[in-house]
Amino acid sequence: MAKIVTRGRGIVGGVMHPKADYSRVVNCGTQISSLVAVSYTYTPRVAINTWLLGVDLWICITPGGAGPLTYFRVLSGVHRAGSFSEIEDWDNILPVFDKDIALDWRVYDDHWHGHWTMKRLFTGEGRRFGLRIHSENAGEGYAFASFEVSEG
C-alpha cells in the first residue's frame, strides 16, 4: 500500500500500484529506402521507472516493384544502439510467436497504422524504445513510432 499525491485531488490512500497521474509521448522515425533494406530508430532515454501505456506505429511507403513487404519489431533497451546489430539485442516488447520462435510483425500495405495498449511497467534503468525495420520490394517511405509513457 502507498499514499500518493495527485494533481487536484490531494492525498490518495490505499493505492496498490502507484503510478504517475500524467503521461507524455516520445516519438522516433526512420526512412525506409529501397537501397537500404534495414533500418532502425529509437527514442531519447526515459525515466528509471516508466509505464509504457501505448504504442502507435505508422508505415508509409511509396509503392515500388511487386508490392511492399515490411517486417518490423518494436523494442526496448537501456543502451544507445550504434548499429542494426546492436538494436537486435534489445528486448522485443511486442513478440509474435510461432511455437517457441519469436517472429517479426509483417505488413503488406503501403500505408499502415497499428496501435497497442500496453500498460507495462519498466524498472531498473532509464530505457529507450525503438523500432527495427526490414523492407522488401519497397519504394521510398518512412516509419514513425509513438510511445505513450508515464514516468515516476
Mind listing the pLDDT tens digit for each residue in 57-108? 999 887 665 567 888 999 999 999 988 889 989 999 998 887 777 788 888 8
Burial profile 94-111: b = 16 or more Cβ within 10 angstroms, e = fewer: beeeeeeeeebbebeebe
What was the pLDDT predicted at 1? Answer: 40
The structure's pTM equals 0.81
- Of residues 73 and 9, more confidently modeled: 73
Where do the structural domains in the chain lie, given as residue ranges? 20-151
Rounded to whole angstroms, the Cα distance separating 59 from 140 reads 11
CB 33 within 8 A of CB 140: yes
- List alpha helices for the chain, DSSP H: 84-87
Q: How far apart are CA 76 and CA 132, in angstroms?
A: 11
Class of the CATH-defined domain 20-151: mainly beta
